[in-house]
Structure 1
Amino acid sequence: MRDLGVGFGYLLKGQRWVARHGRQYGFGLLPGLITLVLYAAALVALALWGADAVSWATPFADDWGSPWQGLFRGFLTAVLFALGLLLAVLTFTAVTLLVGQPFYENLSETVDADVSPDGTAPRSGLPLWRELWISARDSLRVLVRAALWGVLLFALGFLPFVGQTVVPVIGFFVTGFFLTEELAAVALQRRGVELRARLTLFRSRKTLVWGFGTPLGLAFLVPFAAVFLMPGAVAGATLLARDLLGEESAADDPAAPGAPGGRPDTEDVTPRPRYSPSPSSRSSP
């Protein structure tokens, strides 16, 4: 359970980091604002025409008497909007990261260099078009996994009591897991860790991932919160990725350059991560 607090701590550290770096925060807001406008339009359309879609999909209820027809279709309309909202939360990060790839890539690199004992950040060495392709491909794969979970939770939502209590809780943990994957992918992709290896890492530290992503997923339900939290979420996910890979951070290394009693700044320091992706784990189009 300690990892839950550690994961939440990285979320807070990310927000504090961008608060100290106003320029990075300002640039990081732009992709979220663009994506927010698109998603708001889609959710408004779902709210306006969701009932019509449910009526079209349930012709067998046309002859039902009052109040059963209204209750049944009203319930399905509410579930449809809730599912749309869940998918919006799950995919908002992926779409925002895709739109803002250059912004968040730079932000993540800056965080890495800021906390690294030797002041450097890993780089993929790939051209921008290839990074965008890998990001879009992996985001689609994650979306398929998230959609399958969404369908399963939607079906379980019809179970009496369990569907109204346990299922929503599970849904938030699922959301938190996939949110963290999407955010940490910015840092992990630069290190050549492909999607399958990333998911293996996350499953090995699920409580850490939930501690970071589940509160963030809940916060994203607050109108406009996702836009303002995204830059800090990317920064925090970069710190979390370093933890998952066992990489030292300057704040955690008492012998880091510039620290009291530490190594001199001129000494060459090479981080020694406990995890190193094999050649087969390198991302490719």
Structure 2
Amino acid sequence: MNGPRTIAAPVTGATRRFFGGVGLLLRGLGLYVRSPGLMLLGVVPALLSAALFVAAFATLIYFVDELAAWVTPFADDWSDTPRSLVRVIAGLAFLGLGGLLTVVGFTAVTLVIGDPFYEKISERVEDRLGGTPGAVEVPFGASLRRSIVDSLRLVGLSVLFGIPLFLAGFIPVVGQTVVPVVGAAVGGWLLAVELVGAPFSRRGLRLPDRRARLKADRATSLGFGVAVFLCFLIPLGAVLVMPAAVAGAALLARRSLGQHIEES
């Protein structure tokens, strides 16, 4: 089942649609009150994945000075102040790249190991809204393979985008102001595409369909994805927000497919 090649974008203002996307995550957070048991189950795989990625990021922090010195050998003979400055900038660039890869990688791994939990959360959201129009039967094995393959693709994209952002991080001022904003936008977009995987898969739609539908309303997709990305940067935020992000992604998927997102 394939979506149309050309999809008209909503005509409302981009800023309003961006914050509408943020609102979808807030609605997902509301499920903690309405389905606390289900949402807390969704925390379990996030905790397991978080332990792995927190350890990896902590290792990066521990070695960041050595890495910064390794990529700036030209500064070895400089005086203390300029050498320290360029290596601080290099260290921040490494941490920025590491943060992007950690957030996207955490989401990919958590969605794979928590597939049954997050599938249930996503289905619960759609059931409240009248079910899944055009649903197809997806065997668990096929669903898991799809999740792994799509997640690997998106992690690969995060590396592809992350390398030029890492290099741009060496540019004074721009690297510490513009680059983090662009990084949040890139990370937010990748998260949005990744998180809507389950509701699209239930309709027989694949990764290219997700991209096409979300691009048609990029502002809403970015609002949702950037909000999730920023929450995932907060300590324990990734663990607690992950189930809500899955719920909000079900709403985003329905909205991008032109299906209602209000309970009757």
1:161 to 167, 173, 195: 173
1:87 equivalent in alignment to 2:101: yes
Give the superposed CA RMSD: 1.9
Letter in 1 for 2:117: F
TM-fit CA distance, 1:80? 0.8
Are the aligned partners of 1:183 and 1:233 in contact in 2 as well (CA < 8 Å)? yes
- Deviations along 1:142-189, whole A, 9 cap, x unmatched? 112222211122222233433222222121111111111111112111
Structure 2: runs of 5+ lacking an equivalent? 1-13
Distance 2:175 2:80 in 1: 25
Partner of 2:234: 222
Q: Secondary structure at the match of 2:80?
A: coil
1:12 equivalent in alignment to 2:22: no
TM-fit CA distance, 1:29? 0.5
1:121-132 aligned within 5 A: 123-132=135-144
1:50 to 44, 64, 76: 64
Distance 1:120 1:200 in 2: 19
Are the aligned partners of 1:29 and 1:231 in contact in 2 as well (CA < 8 Å)? yes
Letter in 2 for 1:104: Y
Partner of 2:11: none
Distance 2:50 2:134 in 1: 30
Q: TM-score, normalised by structure 2?
A: 0.87
1:152 to 164, 167, 186: 164
Partner of 2:193: 181
Q: Secondary structure at the match of 2:182?
A: helix
Letter in 2 for 1:19: V
1:77 to 88, 91, 102: 91
Letter in 1 for 2:92: A
TM-fit CA distance, 1:97? 0.6
1:108 to 114, 122, 125: 122
Relative distance call for 1:120 and 1:71 in structure 2 (3 A) is: closer
Letter in 2 for 1:111: V
Structure 1: runs of 5+ lacking an equivalent? 254-285
Partner of 1:135: 147
1:193 equivalent in alignment to 2:202: no
Distance 1:170 1:53 in 2: 23
Structure of larger gyration radius: 1
Relative distance call for 1:31 and 1:122 in structure 2 (3 A) is: farther
Question: Looking at both structures, which has the greater relative contact order when contacts are Cα pairs under 8 Å and sequence separation is at least 6?
Answer: 2
Are the aligned partners of 1:18 and 1:235 in contact in 2 as well (CA < 8 Å)? no
Question: Which stretch of structure 1 is more off in the superposition, 165-174 or 94-103?
Answer: 165-174
TM-fit CA distance, 1:58? 4.0
- Deviations along 1:26-73, whole A, 9 cap, x unmatched? 111101100111011111111112222333444444444423333322
1:207-218 aligned within 5 A: 207-218=219-230
Relative distance call for 1:70 and 1:159 in structure 2 (3 A) is: closer
Letter in 2 for 1:28: G
- Deviations along 1:125-150, whole A, 9 cap, x unmatched? 23222211111111111112222211
- In the alignment of these two chains, the number of paired residues is 250
Partner of 1:24: 38
Question: Which stretch of structure 1 is more off in the superposition, 168-177 or 57-66?
Answer: 57-66
Distance 1:168 1:51 in 2: 20
Q: Which has the higher helix share?
A: 2
Are the aligned partners of 1:32 and 1:226 in contact in 2 as well (CA < 8 Å)? yes
Are the aligned partners of 2:97 and 2:165 in contact in 1 as well (CA < 8 Å)? no
Distance 1:147 1:15 in 2: 29
1:68 equivalent in alignment to 2:89: no
Identity %: 40
